[in-house]
Amino acid sequence: MTDIVLDINNLVVALGKQPGASRIIDDVSLRVAERETLCLVGESGSGKSVTSLTVMGLLQKGSLIPTGGSVKLVGEELLTASDRRLRQLRATRMAMIFQEPMTALNPVVPVGRQIDEVLRVHTDLDARARRRKILAMMEHVRLPDVERIFASYPHRLSGGQRQRIMIAMALVLEPKLLIADEPTTALDVTTQKQILTLIRDLQRDHGTAVLFITHDMGVVAEIADRVAVMRHGRLVESGPLDGILRNPLMEYTRNLLASVPSLVPRAPRQETNEPVVLEANELCKIYRERSFFGKAREVPAAKNVTLTLRKGRTLGIVGESGSGKSTVARCIVRLIDPTSGGVRLVGREISELSRRLLQPHRKKIQIIFQDPYRSLNPRVTIGESIAEGPINYGMPRKEALSKARELLELVHLPVDAISRYPHQFSGGQRQRIAIARALALDPEVLVADEAVSALDVSVQAQVLDLLDEIQKRLGIGLLFITHDLRVAAQICDDVVVMQHGRVVEQGPAAEVLTHPKEAYTRALLDAAPGRGWDFANFRPVAEAAE
């Protein structure tokens, strides 16, 4: 029998010590053995992160308190351990990496010194030995040019490099347990794939037990040996990967898997001869960095982007971060001014109109943003937010508010939402509100900039359905910007693949996403986690093809 490294039994974490205090973690039991990866899966608020922070002893003092059960690390009880003992165990026996490698590293200390700190606290090595060990570890996590990176500040490194630094820092003392809390969520798919492979390889070499927290079923399929599903602080079910993906026992797990959009594009819709509502022609956006003495440096964010969108159709722009997809969207909506090239909106060239002349055309194109928590003014009621646009365009207030009510119904929200404030709604509900606000001006084109990226999969599925339904009813043209190929496969008629500000490939989604012509598109598809699984049908893609 393999050794159990982490053994959590009937853990309860509550908001305070009183017996009646509400339980954030309720009776959770988990085990992770040496060389094993347990994926802890669940939607936001399910308690996965609280579980991991409890293990590390990093819960915020005084607010969240473990009130029952036990957490054992290689046989040693952690819940009753002293602060001093916990500090000794951290980095030596158990280590953790986090979601955002940018914010998880101290911005004002060179990364080499941040790793060095671990060795200074926990070992007696002298400066030279420590440096040798760190450089070796940095090479081990496949960082290039380690001497330079050792002395670099975090903001000088890419997201992937920063996460490698975090991994080097976590594993430099070869802990028995590595807790990875959504370590690849903030990374691009190709980088994500490299980091997942790295964690796998290091685990194989060192026999580390990994508790991997994620909301992404694709990642689960790539890395898990066993899976535990959590919801509302309780364990729903757990078991080996294959068992969970093929025969989930619980209704919640089935729904969770069924919500994962498939990478196989949906059946293509009939081509139409509807009029073109949006055209971008050789669109360019170049940022100039001014320099006091030297020549100005030019940074092209979008180069010669040409695309066409017909009424009632959905065009996706896909690409990794920095590919220029959001820049294109913002140029098209004229939130920023393109450097050159044209944008035709319903037959009218708008790229060179002045702000004032643009005004009457603005209502024809509306945008929904990624983060529904920040795109609604927190001090304005939902009704006012929705009605503000029409009122600006001359609609009487009473009429605008009654329109807001109709729109709330259209996006399946209760009519009484009109007098409430954004903080009273969940993320998915807020995104519905954002959609209602965009629709209030009866636009011909709706631009969705990563509009479902911040949402849990089940909510994501609902919002995608809603967009689809609205498009069918109103015949709107939808420009859908996303980094998620699964989402693109399920909603787009056509896709444009972008890299480094240029269009790499474009065509019907069914074609581009199944038979990509360009190497970059292929690399993107290859890197998509869990591409071998058809989650919604509980079987591998290979079996579905038979």
Partner 1 sequence: MLGYLLRRILAAIPVMGVVALFVFLLLRLTPGDPAAILAGDNATPEQLERIRTSLGLNEPLHIQFFTWIGKLLHGDLGVSLISNVPVLKMISQRIEPSISIALSTIVLSIVVAMPLGVIAAWRHGTWIDRFVMGLSVLGFSVPVFVIGYVLIQIFAIDLRWVPVQGFRSITAGFGPFFERIILPTCALSFIYVALIARMTRASMLDVMGEDYIRTARAKGIGEMGVLLRHGLRNAAVPVITVIGSGFALLISGVVVTESVFNLPGIGRLTVDAVLARDYPVIQAMILLTSGIYVAVNLLIDLAYTLLDPRIRY
Torsion angle in degrees (nearest 10) through CA of 470, 473, 474, 478: 40
> What residues pair up with 220 in beta bridges, in sequence order?
none
Find the shortest distance in angstroms from Cβ 400 to partner 1. Answer: 39
Provide the strand spans (E) within 52-104. Answer: 65-73, 76-77, 94-97
Find the shortest distance in angstroms from Cβ 162 to partner 1. Answer: 11
Find the shortest distance in angstroms from Cβ 179 to partner 1. Answer: 9
Find the shortest distance in angstroms from Cβ 29 to partner 1. Answer: 24
The dihedrals phi and psi of 516, each to the nearest 5 degrees, come to -65, 140
Find the shortest distance in angstroms from Cβ 49 to partner 1. Answer: 11
Rounded CA-CA distance 426/44 in Å is: 11
Q: Which is nearer to partner 1, 109 or 542 (CB)?
A: 109
Tokens 């024809």: give the residue.
Answer: 364
Find the shortest distance in angstroms from Cβ 347 to partner 1. Answer: 46
Find the shortest distance in angstroms from Cβ 199 to partner 1. Answer: 17
The dihedral built from the CA positions of residue 473, 478, 484 and 486, taken in this order, carries a sign that is: positive
Q: Which residues bind partner 1 (CB under 8 A)?
A: 56, 58, 86-92, 95-96, 98, 100, 103-109, 117-118, 121-122, 153, 155, 166, 169, 292-293
Q: Which is nearer to partner 1, 155 or 515 (CB)?
A: 155
Q: Which is nearer to partner 1, 101 or 319 (CB)?
A: 101
Contact 534, 541 (CB under 8 A): yes
Q: Which is nearer to partner 1, 163 or 259 (CB)?
A: 163
The secondary structure of residue 19, as a DSSP letter, is T
Q: Which is nearer to partner 1, 102 or 353 (CB)?
A: 102
Torsion angle in degrees (nearest 10) through CA of 234, 240, 246, 249: -40
Q: Which is nearer to partner 1, 106 or 419 (CB)?
A: 106
Q: Which is nearer to partner 1, 117 or 388 (CB)?
A: 117
Tell me the CA distances in angstroms from 471 to 53, 435, 436, 445, one per residue in order: 43, 12, 13, 10
Rounded CA-CA distance 497/520 in Å is: 9
For residue 241, give the H/E element and its range: helix 241-246
